[in-house]
Chains A and B, each alone.
Chain A
Amino acid sequence: MVAAGIDIGSTGTKAVIFDGEIRASVVVPTGWDPKAAGLEAFRQALDCAGLAEGDVGSIVGTGYGRVSLPIFDRKVTEITCHARGAHFLYPETRSVIDIGGQDSKVISVDEQGRVAEFAMNDKCAAGTGRFLQVMAGVLDVSLEQLGQLAVGATPARISSMCAVFAESEVIGLLARGTDKGSIAAGIFHSIAGRIQGLAGKVTLSHRVTFSGGVALNRELCRAIGASLGVDMCVPQAPQMVGALGAAIMGFEA
């Protein structure tokens, strides 16, 4: 059987085709129309796998846009999907950290890839992709450049977790002539602190997988790993883990 998983997130929409192995995986920007993005990602993934829609036995949707597509046979939350996807990639994984555009989650997973418990950030943007984006904006660099800047720098102290206050703090640091590298490292440090607080709410193992698009940023992975005192497994394409989990669930159903 062939299954598809479609993860409609706030910034990117991901689709994976799975038949016991990953046949295709694509990302498209979500834009303002999550429905269209979901269909587009699905179409591209089918093309890439050389399949037609009729070949797919089950389509599972996840992510914030999961309610918006009628083609889904089933909808599952991204929490369950990230757990399954991470478990498939790293069967020994017992914890998953997922930083998405709107929220971040720490999930603890059992031997079979099922969610045991989870914690999610509250209302505010602290410790999310949004926070990173705002900070990169203040420094006038891209997310990748933010990562490069931070390499080897001594983190400047950014005490506020709130995106709004941290923004003015960073502006203050710039005004005082603190170098961008230290500020970038300080920003990562601050996110790591937030994730550490979240991780304290669940049982965290030392086998941690880092998923979600933010994990592309290797310097941030390092900062979080260091603050949690763990070595993190970061998949090749961390942003695909949710869609992969969704596809696996469709495959197994």
Chain B
Amino acid sequence: MRDVCAAFDEIAGLREKNAIALKVAKDRGRKVVGTYCLFSPVELIVAAGAIPVSLCGTSATPIPAAEKVLPRSLCPLIKSSYGFALTDTCPFFHFSDLLLAETTCDGKKKMYELLAQMKPLHLMQLPQVQDEAALDYWVLELKRLITRLEESFGVRITPEKLAGAVLLLNEERRSLKALQDVLKRRPAPISGIDLLTVLHNRGFTVDKREAIELIDRLTTELTELSDQGVSPFSDRTPRILLTGVPVGIGSEKVVRLVEELGGSVACFESCGGYKKVDPVLPGNDLLRSIAEKYLRVPCSCMSPNTGRLQLLEKLVREFDADGVIDLTWQGCHTYNVESFSVKRHLQETVQVPFLQIETDYSESDTEQLKVRIEAFLEVIGTRRGGRP
């Protein structure tokens, strides 16, 4: 379903184009900050006049290099992120002046200690509970980051600049939400793999306004296609909601298999998908509002993490999902353990079929995964009254 529409093709080519755009911007004196996680308060980076880029590793290629240092049993996302840095094969890492990291899961936290030996790295101490005391503390961490950015880049982060950044990023979230909401239509006008490509590639854009405009155009084009009844799927295609660990291009195996076997991934609850579209809400104290938005992220490293259960329940209803797949990377304890609670919660509320998949970035278990996913789609089919 490639070359569906003009806007899609443009976005599909973004990653290469942006590596060059980033170099040009750097030559003109712009600073670049690499982030690894949804907890990174990007508003502060933008307000400092720097360009935020996502460095989260989604490719298996640098993993063998990383395993010379990191344990093999570690989560592939951490190994991939570290491997890119170690081999200096990611242009976006290469051009970063500063890395921004947070104390999320144990594996990432300790990996960042090693990363800090390669490039300047600012570590934010992220509380793992979402209450008022934690928020007070998190506001202080945001202030510490402001100081770091101001000192490193010789700039002043004024309240006006901060307000401008909030507006811009909320606008970006609005456009990303509108795009994903198009998939609420049955059948979805775009495959999950194509949506993932868009969500992944836009993480490398240098000019956010341009990217927002492009996403909005894609949303319009997809809406028109859908109005004309164009879709790679039919009304009966099982609609899957994907939750769990972050996925991107390079680690899209499960998304690809679901769609090859006759399903449609209609919603990504994970980091780069719907979790990301939650905006900064207006308040009297802008910095606190920003802090609140980020502390709310329903990631499994929070304890408890009831926000994820509520978000999932809401998305299953809104996206009319026929089944939920909880993707967990091997070695990711937080998502793996949390899977049990997610399953139970969904059984008690929306009662959709649920499947947990534990895998990594390699292709070695493709056959086993196929059986699992195909059987899961068969379960959905029979539940809807098809032949068993």
Contacts and interface: CB of A to CB of B under 8 A. Distances in A.
Interface in A3-58: none
B358 A122 contact: yes
Interface string B190-232: 0000000000000000000000000000000000000000000
A123 B365 contact: yes
B353 A76 contact: no
A114 B358 contact: no
Interface residues of A, number: 22
A80 B375 contact: yes
Given A79-B375, A80-B375, A64 B367 contact: yes
A114 B388 CA distance: 6
Interface string B286-309: 000000000000000000000000
A123 B387 contact: no
Most buried by A among B365, B367, B372, B375: B375
Contacts of A118: 375, 379
A167 interface: no
A216 to B, nearest CB: 22
Contact of A123 (B364, B374, B382): B364
30 contacts: A64-B367, A76-B378, A77-B374, A77-B375, A77-B378, A79-B371, A79-B375, A79-B378, A80-B375, A80-B378, A80-B382, A80-B388, A84-B388, A102-B368, A103-B371, A112-B388, A113-B388, A114-B379, A114-B388, A115-B375, A115-B382, A117-B353, A120-B368, A120-B371, A122-B365, A123-B359, A123-B368, A249-B387, A249-B388, A253-B387
Interface string B21-49: 00000000000000000000000000000
Contacts of A231: none
A141 to B, nearest CB: 29
B245 to A, nearest CB: 15
Interface string A106-139: 0000001111111010110000000000000000
Interface in B344-365: 353-354, 358-359, 364-365
A9 to B, nearest CB: 12
B368 A115 contact: no
Contacts of A112: 388
Nearest to A63: B371
Nearest to B261: A77
A162 to B, nearest CB: 12
Interface of A: 64, 76-80, 84, 102-103, 112-118, 120, 122-123, 249, 252-253
Contacts of B375: 77, 79-80, 115, 118
B364 to A, nearest CB: 7
A117 B353 CA distance: 8
A189 B345 CA distance: 33
A249 B378 CA distance: 13
Contact of B368 (A80, A103, A113, A252): A103
A114 B382 contact: yes
Contacts of B358: 122
Shortest beta-carbon contacts, A-B, top 3:
A79-B375, A77-B375, A77-B374
A120 B388 contact: no
Nearest to A252: B387
A122 B378 CA distance: 20
Nearest to B364: A123
Contacts of B372: 120
Contacts of A80: 375, 378-379, 382, 388
Contacts of A252: 387-388
A117 B356 CA distance: 11
A77 B372 CA distance: 8
A123 B365 CA distance: 6
Given A114-B388, A117-B353, A249-B387, 18 more contacts: A76-B378, A79-B378, A80-B375, A80-B382, A113-B388, A114-B379, A114-B382, A115-B378, A115-B379, A115-B382, A117-B354, A117-B379, A118-B379, A120-B372, A122-B358, A123-B364, A123-B368, A252-B387
